[in-house]
Structure 1
Amino acid sequence: MQRICLFPGTFDPITVGHLDIIYRSLDLFDKLYIGIGRNAAKVPMFSEEKRVDWIQSIFKDEPRVDSVVYEGLTVDCCKRVNAKFILRGIRYVNDFEYEKAIADMNRSLDHNIETIFLTCLPQYTSVASTLVRDVIRNGGDASPFLPPIVNQAVQNK
């Protein structure tokens, strides 16, 4: 049986912190879907199409990684792609408390789906999409936090 995992988030934009978690998780799973969740409460900086394009470009040589755009419950997206695992990255202790509450809710919705937490490497603890968007919005240099293809698109915007 294949170990299929969903890594949900907005990935607005995908950062080097996300890539750290993704690449380090590949030994754990046979297939990893990067789930771009639609959040009605948030207006994204980058279109879903752009985010999917970036993911496809970054992982063009990695057949185990794919992307999916979804709305609604993460566990429903897991069922759609046959994922039995949800991957979440943890930067700080308070991330764990928040993520554990979500994991517990997801487990109560579907006890067959397990959440796996990976802690990020120390150099990525401050890299959050929200902070990166603020740097971009205010004309700062976001290049240390972005994959080259994303940074190039941001520079050309």
Structure 2
Amino acid sequence: MASIAVVPGSFDPVTLGHVDIITRGANVFDKVIVSVLNNQKKQPLFTVEERIQLLKESTKSLENVEIDSFDGLLIDYVKEKKANAIIKGLRAVSDFEYELQMAAINRKLDENIETFFVMTNNKYSYLSSSIVKEVARYGAPVHDLVPPEVEIALKAKFR
């Protein structure tokens, strides 16, 4: 049986930290499905379609990575995709506290699906999509924070 993992997130926008976690997951699992959460409560900078396209461009060199989107419960989506794992990137202790709760409820909803926590590369430990948007909004360089196609998209949004 193939090992399939889902990497969920808002990816608004995708950062080099996200790409690092996705790449590392792709090195471990047979297939990785990166799925953009369509959260109706948030006002994202990029549409779901734009985020999907940016993720596709940012991960095009990873042959076993697929890009998708979902809304609703993550555990339902994971089961629909016949995945057996969820990958979550962690930057700090605060991430762990929240993600531990999410992993526990997902485990309660389906004990056959495992959650794997991947510690971020130290060079991305401070990086978040919110920080990237704030920096880009004021025209500061983001080339070392995001893939090139995301930098172009950010410049277009804030032009």
TM class by smaller structure? over 0.9
Using the TM superposition, give the Cα deviation of residue 93 of structure 1 relative to its aligned residue in structure 2, in angstroms. 1.3
Structure-2 residue corresponding to 1:134: 134
Moved more, 57-66 or 18-27: 57-66
Q: Work out whether 1:152 is the aligned partner of 2:152.
A: yes
Deviation of the 1:118 alpha carbon = 0.4
Aligned partner of 2:116: which letter? I
Three-state SS of the structure 2 residue aligned to 1:145 is coil
**Number of equivalent positions:** 157
Q: CA offsets per residue over residues 49-90 of structure 1, 9 Å max, x none?
A: 111111222222322101111001001110121111000001
* Percent of residue pairs identical: 38
When normalised by structure 2's length, the TM-score is 0.93
Consecutive unaligned residues in structure 1, runs of 5 or more: none
Q: If the length of structure 1 is used for normalisation, what is the TM-score?
A: 0.94
Structure 2 unaligned residues grouped into runs of 5+: none
Structure-1 separation of matches of 2:128 and 2:25: 19
- Following TM superposition, the consecutive aligned residue runs of length 4 or more in structure 1 with deviations greater than 6 angstroms are none
**Which residue of 2 is the match for residue 32 of structure 1?**
32
1:122 positional shift: 0.9
Q: Please say which of residues 121-130 and 52-61 is displaced more in the overlay.
A: 52-61
Q: Is 2:51 the partner of 1:74?
A: no
Structure-1 separation of matches of 2:111 and 2:122: 32
Return the letter of the residue paired with 1:16: L
Give 1:20's aligned residue: 20
Q: Is the 8 A contact 2:13 2:46 kept in 1?
A: yes
